[in-house]
Structure 1
Amino acid sequence: MHELQLVALDGGDDTEMSWQERSLCAQTDPEAFFPEKGGSTREAKKVCVGCEVRSECLEYALSNDERFGIWGGLSERERRKLKKRAV
């Protein structure tokens, strides 16, 4: 996994932030990303569309076999389909 070096806007030293720290979902209600069975994933996916680390998030979910929640803009079902197509 690659991490990006960011320069602090206050002119301080370089600060290394992981993709999780840069994710938009980290600044949002986590409940939206883990809806009840049959619940809407729409709000979470809206957040993912504008997230700069969406691909890192999806890569993490696929490589760690995350079975719950919205990761990289995809639901559990969508990730399973993606994995089956890749095989």
Structure 2
Amino acid sequence: MIPNLDWMQHAACAGMDPRAFFTVGNHARAQVNEARKVCATCPVREQCADWAIQTGERHGVWGGMSQQQLRQRRRRFTSRARTDTRAAS
């Protein structure tokens, strides 16, 4: 099944250089802050974050969340999914 990615065309970052959201070097914190400013105005921020979590994206700023925030949310998502699977058994 191919996921519905229509939300991407409505993203505030559509057409921007993706490197703005994948930080490196000495200015990484400043880059994250700039990327998060773009995300703060985005109408599809939640879909973006959900996409990153569900696909296991480990790098970059997604849905206004840093890599660390994504890892934390992914852990909660994974734990909840495991609990739901066990309850269904």
TM-score tier, shorter chain, comes to 0.7 to 0.9
Give, in whole Å, the separation in 2 of the partners of 1:77 and 1:37. 17
1:80 matched to 2:46: no
Note the C-alpha offset of 1:31: 1.8
Q: CA RMSD in A?
A: 1.9
TM-score (ref. length: structure 1): 0.72
Greater displacement, 22-31 / 56-65: 22-31
Q: Which has the higher helix share?
A: 2
1:26 matched to 2:14: yes
% of aligned pairs identical?
Answer: 37
Tell me the number of residue pairs that the alignment of Structure 1 and Structure 2 aligns.
Answer: 73
TM-score (ref. length: structure 2): 0.71
The one of 11, 29, 40 equivalent to 1:49 is: 40
Greater displacement, 55-64 / 74-83: 74-83
Which aligned segments of 4 or more residues in structure 1 are displaced greater than 4 angstroms? Answer: none
Q: With CA pairs under 8 Å and 6+ residues apart, which has the higher RCO, 1 or 2?
A: 2
Unaligned runs of 5+ in 1: 4-17
